Structure 1
Amino acid sequence: MSVKILADSASDLSTKHYNEFDIEMVSLTVHLDEKEYEDGKTISPKSVYDAMREGKSPKTSQVSPQTFKTIFTSYAEANQPLIYIAFSSELSGTYQTGKMMEQEVKEKYPDAPIHVIDTKCASIGYGLVVLRAAQLAKSGAGVDEIIEMATYHAKHMEHIFTVDDLEYLYRGGRVSKTAAFVGSLLKIKPILHVDDGKLVPLEKIRGSKKLLGRIVEIMEERGTDFKNQVIGISHGDDIERAEKLAEVIKEKFNPKEIVIEMVGSAIGAHAGPGTIALFFLNDEYK
């Protein structure tokens, strides 16, 4: 029986990807205007960004335990292998909830072939890990091979990104009020990355003009084997800059493919409009 891949909506993959590789998806929840929405299903990222531009502060919450329990139980009863590849445990409680429900379901079905992996990745960086696993699953690979490959890609996935306004990260508890205020005042644009699943500032750039050039330089310093890689770019409703970044990368590194997607509602609610994120491997593509 083929292995099924489960991801959550923080992977920022498109419906096309889910359909092409038969990936199952669970949604994080977005809270806006006193209503609850399912990320990737019942709210568009654009509507979240427009609300933020109007000064609203959307909130998010993790996937519910009951959602995982229902899915895991159905796979346990069918004895079908399922690998849930999760959003970074440092940025959401969704992985921990999935792990807890895996253990609960296995109390009743001890031999259930259910596996939960923490990628420590986010957005399309996480999405690329899911896609690699799903490609293997589609080609008939076994559980061990898929877990090994997903773990490798997650471990070596670089996240280099910038936000248009530090205020959004402050509201989400990611930077201090002082940093947000000083950054906005001085027009400082931060370059951040993800280290062991956590958001970590890397550099500060004064003004926007040098930003994309510096991001490409960091890619060259940290990455390798670009010709064999699928590079990921995600953006907070700024397709123009995302495509500009993609053009520079194509010209300089000629990668195998570049996937461009909008940062989804759940991550976008914290990063804000104007976010640009770049994802690539710092080791050879496998």
Structure 2
Amino acid sequence: MTVKIMADSSCDLTEHYYNEYDIEMVPLTVHLNNKEYRDSIDIQPKTVYDEMRAGKGTKTSQVSPQTFKTIFTSYAETNQPLVYLAFSSELSGTYQSAAMMAEEVKESYPGAQIHVIDTKCASIGYGLVILRAAELAKEGADAASIIETASYHAEHMEHIFTVDDLEYLYRGGRVSKTAAFVGSLLKIKPLLHVEDGKLVPLEKIRGRKKVLGRMIDLMAARGDDFSNQVIGISHGDDLERAEQLRDMICEKFNISQKNVVIEMVGAVIGAHSGPGTLALFFLNKPYK
């Protein structure tokens, strides 16, 4: 039986990918104007960014344990193999809830082939891991092979990103109030990356224009074999800048635009990073 791949909405893939690869998607929740919305189902990122620009506050919450229990039970009952590749456990409690519910379901269905993997990835970096796993599933690979390759991609997925306004990272506890104030005053743009699933500050760059060049410098220093992998770019409602970064990458590394996926940072991650976020994702080891 074909292995089913499951993702949560923090992978920032759009619906056509879920349909093309028959991926099960479970949404996190966005809280806005005293209402709850299912990420990418009831609310789109553009709405969240517009509200944030208007000064509105947003919150997010993880997938409920009961949701996972219901989904996992349905697969256990039909004995279909399921591989759920989860949003980084360092950024959300979603993985922990899923792992707990998988064990609970297996108590009732000892033979259930339910696998829950912590990717330690986010946004399109996480999405690229999902797509590779879904490709293998579509080709008929077994769960062990899918997990091995997806884990390799997750381990070697670089996340290099910047935000347009440090205030949003301050609200999320990522930078101090002083750093946010001084950064805004001096027009300092932070570069961050993901290290073992956590957001870690990397550098501070003065001026928006210099950021893109520095991102490409880091890509050249850390990456490998770009012509044989898919490069990911996600943006917080700033497609023009994302396409500028793509064009710079294609020229620098002599790769086709077809090798680059551009998507908007989803509502859940965008609620913490804010409008103007720009992120770059690539493998630091050869593609497999």
Same fold (TM over 0.5): yes
C-alpha separation in 1, matches of 2:255 and 2:178: 39
C-alpha separation in 2, matches of 1:208 and 1:149: 36
Matched letter for residue 169 of structure 1 = L
Q: Alignment partner of 2:179: what SS?
A: helix
Matched letter for residue 259 of structure 1 = V
Higher mean C-alpha displacement, 178-187 vs 12-21: 178-187
Displacement of 1:185 in angstroms is 1.2
Q: Alignment partner of 2:281: what SS?
A: strand
C-alpha separation in 2, matches of 1:100 and 1:180: 37
Matched letter for residue 5 of structure 1 = I
Matches within 5 A, 1:159-238: 159-238=159-238
**Residue equivalent to 1:141:** 141
Contact kept, 8 Å, 1:229 with 1:255, in 2: the verdict is no
Displacement of 1:260 in angstroms is 0.2
Does residue 261 of structure 1 match 2:263?
Answer: yes
Matched letter for residue 98 of structure 1 = A
**Residue equivalent to 1:248:** 248
C-alpha separation in 2, matches of 1:178 and 1:109: 53
**Scaled by the length of structure 2, what TM-score is found?**
0.98
Does residue 76 of structure 1 match 2:72?
Answer: no
RMSD (Å), alpha carbons: 0.7
Higher mean C-alpha displacement, 272-281 vs 166-175: 166-175
Q: Could you report, residue by residue, the CA deviation over 1:18-54 in whole angstroms, capped at 9, with x for unpaired residues?
A: 1100000000000000000000100010010001001
Q: Could you report, residue by residue, the CA deviation over 1:65-99 in whole angstroms, capped at 9, with x for unpaired residues?
A: 11100000000000000000000000000000000
Displacement of 1:235 in angstroms is 0.1
Displacement of 1:177 in angstroms is 1.1
Does residue 20 of structure 1 match 2:20?
Answer: yes
Q: Alignment partner of 2:208: what SS?
A: coil
Contact kept, 8 Å, 1:231 with 1:255, in 2: the verdict is no
C-alpha separation in 1, matches of 2:255 and 2:224: 10
Q: Alignment partner of 1:224: what SS?
A: coil
Structure 2: where are the runs of 5+ without partners? none
C-alpha separation in 1, matches of 2:179 and 2:9: 29
C-alpha separation in 2, matches of 1:238 and 1:155: 28
Matches within 5 A, 1:124-139: 124-139=124-139
Displacement of 1:111 in angstroms is 1.1
Q: Alignment partner of 2:237: what SS?
A: coil
Does residue 276 of structure 1 match 2:267?
Answer: no
Displacement of 1:175 in angstroms is 1.4
C-alpha separation in 2, matches of 1:176 and 1:97: 29
Query: Would you say how many aligned residue pairs link Structure 1 and Structure 2?
Result: 286
Q: Alignment partner of 1:121: what SS?
A: coil
Higher mean C-alpha displacement, 167-176 vs 32-41: 167-176
Matched letter for residue 218 of structure 2 = I
Structure 1: where are the runs of 5+ without partners? none
C-alpha separation in 2, matches of 1:174 and 1:139: 41
Matched letter for residue 207 of structure 1 = G
**Residue equivalent to 1:121:** 121
C-alpha separation in 1, matches of 2:210 and 2:108: 57
Q: Alignment partner of 1:277: what SS?
A: strand
Q: Alignment partner of 1:267: what SS?
A: helix
Displacement of 1:179 in angstroms is 1.3
C-alpha separation in 2, matches of 1:64 and 1:215: 36
C-alpha separation in 2, matches of 1:114 and 1:262: 30
- Name segments (4+ residues, structure 1) moved above 2 Å: none
Displacement of 1:255 in angstroms is 3.7
Q: Alignment partner of 1:209: what SS?
A: helix
